[in-house]
Structure formats: C-alpha cells, structure tokens
Amino acid sequence: MPARLWRAVRTTLGLGVLAAASLVLAPAGLAHDQLIASTPAAGEALPTPPAEVVLTMSGDALDIGTTVMVTDLDGADHAGAITIAGPDVRVEVADLEDGFYDVRWRIVSSDGHPVSGVVPFSVGDVGDRPTAQPDTGPAEASGQATANPPPSGDHDDDQSDDRSDAAATQAATGTIGPLPPLARTLVVGGGGALAGLGALALILAVRRIRHRTTRIETT
C-alpha cells in the first residue's frame, strides 16, 4: 500500500475513533460526584447513638465549601468536627438522644461543583417518623371549605406531589438527576459534528484514491 494512501487511512480511522469516544465519554464528563454510601444509611433505625456520621462519595471530596449538619426535628444541629479523607467525609456527633435526625450535607465534588442531599435516620425505639401537617387555608379553618374543589386544583396538586417526590428521592440519594435539555443537545451535537468530520474525511480520501488510480491507468 502506498505511503500516502496509508496516511489517509490512518487519519480517517483516527477521526472515527475520536467521534465514537466523544459520544461515549461526553455524558460521563458532565456528571458530578454522587453519594454512594452513608453510615447510618438512609432511613436506618439505630439502637444506640452513633459516635460519627460517614458519607462516602463516588470521587474525592474537597475540603473547601463542604458542610454537614446533623439536625433533630427542632432544627438543632448536633454535628461536630468534619474530617475529609479522599471520598470519605466523617462528622463527629455526641450526646444524641432518642429521636429522629437528618444529615444535611453539601459536599464539593472532585470537579469543583457542590452536590447536596439529606440522609434521615433515627435513634432508639421511637416508632415512625412524624409527618408535617399541611397548612390549612382560611376557608378550611372556618369550616367553609368547598366540598368539590375545581379540577385544576387537583391537577396542580398531583403535579406538585410528583415534583416533591422526585426532589425527595434525589435529596436522599444525593443524585444530580438527568442532564438538562441544553446539555444533552450540546453533547449530541458535538458528537454528531465529529462523526460528520470523520465521514467527510473518509469521502475525500476515497475520492483521492480513485483520482490517483485513474491517472495511473491513463498513463
């Protein structure tokens, strides 16, 4: 195979590999670190108070900007000193009484972007966690609530509940959620552009080969 033809083939193959790699690696590059484990685990009921809380991220946590609170139902914070070692964030806690607690964390991931979430747990035999009572409006408080609320209100409440459930799931697990539409468009568009360049290079290389072959046959 002629040297020029071999160089054209190598260039075309290289562009194709770059295009494929961009489609595979670009979404991963846009993802932040996530919480992959915690002690206590989310929803865990501990028989005795813990001496510390441990949060484990999918990447090394940064010290700057990282905060962790261990709050009770009254909002009091029981968190002590924070120690960061690689992906593990340790928080000292002391003198926790029986009750319900939330580990409210905000950790700066290895790419410099903060992620946050909540890990609920309980200490002692305290039963089920109490749920917050919904705030009643003036009509309900005076006993004059409408028997059949308008359909639009039901629809809005359902949508609000769906959004709240999704937000609660992301908060408990520390996940970021799917990429926004603009980011997905940029990823797909960038990969498509590289793939298009690879295809164009292949077409040009084939045309050059045909042109040279025709000249050789003519002479």
pTM to 2 decimal places: 0.53
Separation of alpha carbons 144 and 148, rounded Å: 12
Cβ–Cβ < 8 Å for 87, 37: no
Structural domain contains residue 150: no
pLDDT in the model for residue 115: 96
Structural domain contains residue 42: yes
Residues 121, 194, single domain; the answer is no
Structural domain contains residue 118: yes
Structural domain contains residue 139: no
Separation of alpha carbons 69 and 206, rounded Å: 64
> For residue range 22-63, what is the model confidence (pLDDT) as tens digits?
544 444 445 689 999 999 999 999 999 999 999 999 999 999
In the chain, how many domains are there? 2
For 47-66, give the DSSP string.
SS--SEEEEEESSPPEEEEE
| The token pair that represents 15 in the structure block | 């562009």
Q: How far is C-alpha 191 from the geometric centre of its chain's CA atoms?
A: 22
Residues 45, 113, single domain; the answer is yes
Residues 119, 82, single domain; the answer is yes
Residues 9, 55, single domain; the answer is no
Residues 191, 118, single domain; the answer is no
> For residue range 162-202, what is the model confidence (pLDDT) as tens digits?
554 444 444 454 544 444 445 455 555 555 666 666 667 76
> For residue range 63-121, what is the model confidence (pLDDT) as tens digits?
999 999 999 999 999 999 999 999 999 999 988 999 999 999 999 988 899 999 999 99
Where on the phi/psi map is residue 159: left (φ > 0), alpha (ψ -120 to 50), or beta? Answer: alpha
Residues 62, 15, single domain; the answer is no
Question: Residue 134 phi/psi, 5° resolution?
Answer: -65, 145
pLDDT in the model for residue 26: 44
Structural domain contains residue 92: yes
Residues 16, 85, single domain; the answer is no
Structural domain contains residue 146: no
H or E segment and range at residue 129: none
> For residue range 107-141, what is the model confidence (pLDDT) as tens digits?
998 889 999 999 999 999 999 999 876 555 554 44
Residue 154 has pLDDT above 70, yes or no: no
Characterize the bridge pairing of strands 88-93 and 114-123: unpaired
Residues 9, 74, single domain; the answer is no
Identify the domain containing residue 10 by its residue range.
3-29+182-218
H or E segment and range at residue 185: helix 181-218
